[in-house]
Amino acid sequence: MVIVYGDSPSPDQDSSPTASTVLCTKATVAGVRTRPFSAKVAFPLVSGLHELCGSRSLIYRSRGWIRSCRGSERELFLWLRSYLAAHRTVTMPHSYPALSAEQKKELSDIALRIVAPGKGILAADESVGSMAKRLSQIGVENTEENRRLYRQVLFSADDRVKKCIGGVIFFHETLYQKDDNGVPFVRTIQDKGIVVGIKVDKGVVPLAGTDGETTTQGLDGLSERCAQYKKDGADFAKWRCVLKISERTPSALAILENANVLARYASICQQNGIVPIVEPEILPDGDHDLKRCQYVTEKVLAALYKALSDHHVYLEGTLLKPNMVTPGHACPIKYSPEEIAMATVTALRRTVPPAVPGVTFLSGGQSEEEASLNLNAINRCPLPRPWALTFSYGRALQASALNAWRGQQDNAGAATEEFIKRAEVNGLAAQGKYEGSGEDGGAAAQSLYIANHAY
C-alpha cells in the first residue's frame, strides 16, 4: 500500500524517492480520495504505516506549506490503522539468514549420505512402552537388558548392511548402551559408515477442541537436547506427528498445528547441526479408499511445506518421512502396488519441493513383503521423481528378526540374518530392482497393522 499526499515537487526540490511513491494533487489512501492534510497529520500516518506493515512513503513539501485539514484527521488515521491491520498479508517478508554456508553444506551432506542410492533407514527408536508390546509377543520380559540384547541383534549385522542402510534412528536409552564387548552402539553403527539419528519428540497428546485429534509434545528444552545429542554422535533426528482420516478429520486445526510443530522442531534441529526428519503420519485406521488418502496426504504435505517455509527451514538439509498413499485398513477395495505407487508419487509431486533430498517412507502397518513391493513399485513409477524415494522402516525391517530371536541368545545369529535379508530386499526396492520373494505365506507376509499405533 502507498499513501499519497501533497503537491508535486517543484523542479528545485529533491524528487528521488526512497520508496515506491505516487504523486497527485490531493491525498489518496488506498484509492480513497481525501482532502489535503497537514504535515502534522502526515508524519504520524507515515510512521504508523511503517510500524504496521514495514512500508515507507516519501513526503513532498509543496511550494507553499500544505494547508491544515479542518477535521477528520483522527478518523483518517484510525481508518488507515484498521485497513492495514486487516491487510497485513501485503507485508513484504524479510530474510533472516540463520545458517551459514558451512552449516548448510554440513546438513545437506548428512541428508545425502542417509539417502544415497539403494540406502534407507532402520527405525530402531521404539520407546520403552512400544518395546513392551513387541517383546510380549514373543514372551520376553521388557527389561533394559532384554531391550539391549535385542538391539544388539540388529546392530551386530555385518558389512552387508553398509550398502543398504544409510541411517539408524536410536531411542534415548539406546544411544548410551553398549554391546557385550563394551563398545557403544553409536560407535558400532558409525564404524559401518552409517549415520546415527535420534528420536526427539515426547509423544502425542490430545489437541483440545478437536474430535480426538492430537499434537506432539517435546519442544521445551529441544535445543539443549539437540546440542547434547550432536556431541554424543547423532547427526539427524526424527519427530512424529499423527493425523487420522474419518468423516470429520483431519481438521484444519490439526493439520495447521502439527505442521507448525514440525516446522519449529526442524528449525531448532538445524540450528544445532542436526538434519530433521519431518514425519506427518496419516494413520491407516479406517475404511477410506485410495483417493481419499491421496487427497488428505496432499493437504497435509502442502501445509507442512508452507510451515517449513514460514520458519525459514533449509529444505536441502531435511528429509521427509510420510505414509505411502494406501487405503484404510478396513477398506474393502484391494489396490495393486502400481496403483498405490501412482497415487503416492502424484501426491508428492503436487506438494514436495524438489529441493528436498529424500523421502523415506514409513511402513504404516504393512507386512514386510507388502512394504517392499510397494516401495519397489514407487521407484518404478513412470512419473518424474526428483527425490530419493526410500524406506524408514521399523516393524517392516524387524518383524522376522524378532520372531527368529525370541529372547534366546542361541538364536541371535539367525535373527541377525533375517534382518540383513530384509535390509537387502528394501535396498533393492529403493532402486526399483526387487522382483518379489514369490512367497505368499511366512512371517514376511503377516500384517503388522496396529490400530491407533503410537511409538
Residues known to be catalytic: 279, 321
Task: Return d(Cα 334, Cα 340) in angstroms, integer.
Answer: 10
C-alpha cell at 115: 539417502
Length of the chain: 455
C-alpha cell at 395: 516393524
Pairing outcome for strands 32-33 and 28-29: antiparallel
Task: Return d(Cα 84, Cα 53) in angstroms, integer.
Answer: 7
Pairing outcome for strands 204-206 and 275-282: unpaired
Task: Return d(Cα 36, Cα 26) in angstroms, integer.
Answer: 5
What is the CB neighbour count within 10 angstroms for residue 173?
15
**Residues 6 or more apart in contact with residue 221 via CB below 8 angstroms:** none
C-alpha cell at 242: 499423527
Task: Return d(Cα 299, Cα 319) in angstroms, integer.
Answer: 18
Measured at the CA of 284, the angle between CA 282 and CA 285, to 5 degrees, comes to 110
Measured at the CA of 87, the angle between CA 86 and CA 89, to 5 degrees, comes to 125
Give the largest CA-CA distance in the chain: 99
**Residues 6 or more apart in contact with residue 380 via CB below 8 angstroms:** 341, 432
